[in-house]
Amino acid sequence: MKWETQCKHDGAREWTTEWGLVVQAFRFSFTPCKNIDIMWRGARRALSSAPSPCTYEGTPSQRTLLALKPDTVQRGLIGALLSRFEQRGFKVVGLKMLQPSWELAESHYEEHRGKPFYERACTFIASGPLVAAVLEGRGVIGATRTMIGATEPLDCTPGTIRFDYGAHWRRNLVHGSDSETAAAREISLWFRPEELCQWEHCASSWVYELPTARTRFDEEA
């Protein structure tokens, strides 16, 4: 039986990472064909025209400090909470467990010195090991704060970390920087520059909208 080819291209989009990995998504409609090579020639053209490594559009990439407090560690929630931020698409560029000193706790809450809760907050954050992380991504500071929720778990929106896991404002599990200035100060307190790792996430093009190249397939005989 002879076949005739008619490959109708509905859409093609290419994504590329720094390593040159190209992932294609094609949708074709086919009728019986005589020369299937037409389809493959079109696919090769699309792959060869994939764009060079892309930059993110819109909000610049930010970094923020995320501290999983001693209650998170003691309750065995490190993986559950950290995975929320990774699943959101944020990149971990610094991560460590440590027992904070009293001096580090005081420096961390320096802006609250003199307030009624200052000493209690310092005491709690220094009461046991915690996990400190630096997250990177577009709008990560505001997004992290939204994901964490209000200070008082009872006032939080359902789906936030403190609503889902917290019950009391003095045991609210997580700290996240509230501004770019605070993030820069807190990251410098908890991490040395050499402890931060700059790396390219191979899934970035699936998290962010990147510039794309569109290719038309010519119907060729």
Residue-level pLDDT at 206:
87
Residue-level pLDDT at 8:
37
pLDDT (tens place) for every residue of the chain, 221 residues total: 444 334 333 333 333 333 333 333 333 344 444 444 544 444 444 333 333 333 444 556 899 999 999 999 999 999 999 999 999 999 999 999 999 999 999 999 999 999 999 999 999 999 999 999 999 999 999 999 999 999 898 899 999 999 999 988 889 999 999 999 999 999 999 999 999 999 988 888 888 876 554 444 445 54
Residue-level pLDDT at 155:
92
Residue 209 has a CB neighbour count (10 Å cut-off) of: 10
Residue-level pLDDT at 207:
86
Task: Tell me the pLDDT tens digit for each residue of 2-40.
Answer: 443 343 333 333 333 333 333 333 333 444 444 445 444
Token output for 181: 């200035």
Task: Tell me the pLDDT tens digit for each residue of 63-73.
Answer: 999 999 999 99
Domains of the chain (ranges; CATH) run 1-53+203-221 (no CATH), 61-190 (3.30.70.141)
Residue-level pLDDT at 212:
54
Task: Tell me the pLDDT tens digit for each residue of 196-207.
Answer: 999 988 888 888
Question: Would you please indicate which residues are annotated as catalytic (active-site) residues?
Answer: 175
Cβ(100)–Cβ(128) below 8 Å: no
Q: How far apart are CA 165 and CA 172, in angstroms?
A: 8
HEC readout, the chain: CCCCCEEEEEEEEEEECCCCCEEEEEEEEEECCCCCHHHHHHHHHHHHCCCCCCCCCCCCEEEEEEEECHHHHHCCCHHHHHHHHHHHCCEEEEEEEECCCHHHHHHHCHHHCCCCCHHHHHHHHCCCCEEEEEEEEECHHHHHHHHHCCCCHHHCCCCCHHHHHCCECCECCEEECCCHHHHHHHHHHHCCHHHCCCCCCCCHHHHCCCCCCCCCCCCCC
Residue-level pLDDT at 168:
87
Rounded to whole angstroms, the maximal C-alpha distance in the chain is 88
> In whole numbers, what is the pLDDT of the chain averaged over residues?
78
Nearest to 67 by CA among 135, 160, 133, 149: 133
Cross-strand bridge partners of residue 95: 133
